[in-house]
Structure 1
Amino acid sequence: MDRKIFYAESGKALRHIDEILGDLEHEQLDVNLAGDVLTLAFEDGGKFVINAHSAAEQIWMAAGTTAWHFDFVAARGQWIAHKTDDELMTTVSRVVGDKLGETIEL
C-alpha cells in the first residue's frame, strides 16, 4: 500500500472513532487521540488501545485479552482483520458497547 494512502485512511478511521466516542460524553469512558494512538480508558481502569502501525501498514487494536490486526481493503473501503474477517468499526462498536452495556454505532 502507498504510505500516503495508509496515513490518510488510518488517520480518517482513528479520527472517526475519536469523534463518535468522544461525542458520547459518557461518564464511564475517556477517549484520547494522541498522534496515531487512540486510547479508550474506562471508569473501571480498563483500557482499549487502537493505533496505526505504520511498519505493518495496519491498524492494531487491543481490548482486554483480545487483539486484532486490521488491513485496509480498498475495494471495500474498510479495515478488515483477515484472521477473523472482523471489520474495524463494527468491532470497536461491539467491544465498547459490551464494556459500557449499551449499543454503540460507529
Structure 2
Amino acid sequence: MSSEGISERDFERAADDTLRLLERALDGVDGLEVDLQMGVLTVEFGDGTKYVINSHRAARQIWMAAERTAWHFDPREGGARWQASKDGAELWTTVEGVLSRKLGSPVELPR
C-alpha cells in the first residue's frame, strides 16, 4: 500500500506503533540512549552522535537521518512494513545496518 492509499488516522496509528516498537527494541542495545517524544525517536551514542527517526505526517512517511544520509519510508501492508521508495530499503533492516556500522558489531533488533 502506498502512502496515498492509507488514511491519515491509519498512518498515525501505524507510525506511532512502529516508533514505539523501535524504541523498545533499541532500548536493549548497549551503547545507546533512546528517547521517543511526540513522534521523534532520537538515538544517541556515547560520542554524542545522534540519529533521528520520525513520523512525517504531512508526507505520510517515516523519515530517518543517520550517517549524513536521509531515508523516507512509505507504509506497506497498511503500515506493517515501511519501505523506502528511492531504493526499496526496509526500515528495520536499514536501522540495523546503520547501527551495526556505527557500533562496529552486528545489531539484530527483535521485532
User: With structure 2 as the length reference, what TM-score do the two structures score?
Assistant: 0.87
In the alignment, does 2:39 pair up with 1:36?
A: yes
Q: Which amino acid letter does the alignment assign opposite residue 15 of structure 2?
A: S
State the distance in 2 between where 1:52 and 1:82 align.
16
In the alignment, does 2:15 pair up with 1:4?
A: no
Between 1:79-88 and 1:66-75, the stretch displaced more is: 66-75
State the distance in 1 between where 2:14 and 2:28 align.
21
Shift of 1:55: 0.5
Runs of 4+ in structure 1 off by over 6 angstroms are none
Contact 1:47 1:64 in 2 (8 A): no
State the distance in 2 between where 1:10 and 1:75 align.
10
User: With structure 1 as the length reference, what TM-score do the two structures score?
Assistant: 0.91
State the distance in 2 between where 1:17 and 1:101 align.
20
**Matched residues, number:** 104
Q: Kindly indicate whether structure 1 or structure 2 has the higher relative contact order, using CA contacts under 8 Å at least 6 residues apart.
A: 2
- Cα RMSD, aligned residues only: 1.4
Q: Which amino acid letter does the alignment assign opposite residue 12 of structure 2?
A: Y
Aligned to 2:102: 99
Uncovered stretches (5+) of structure 1, i.e. residues with no partner: none
In the alignment, does 2:28 pair up with 1:23?
A: yes
State the SS of the aligned residue for 2:58: coil
Aligned to 2:3: none
Q: Which amino acid letter does the alignment assign opposite residue 54 of structure 1?
A: R
Give % identity. Answer: 44
Uncovered stretches (5+) of structure 2, i.e. residues with no partner: 1-5
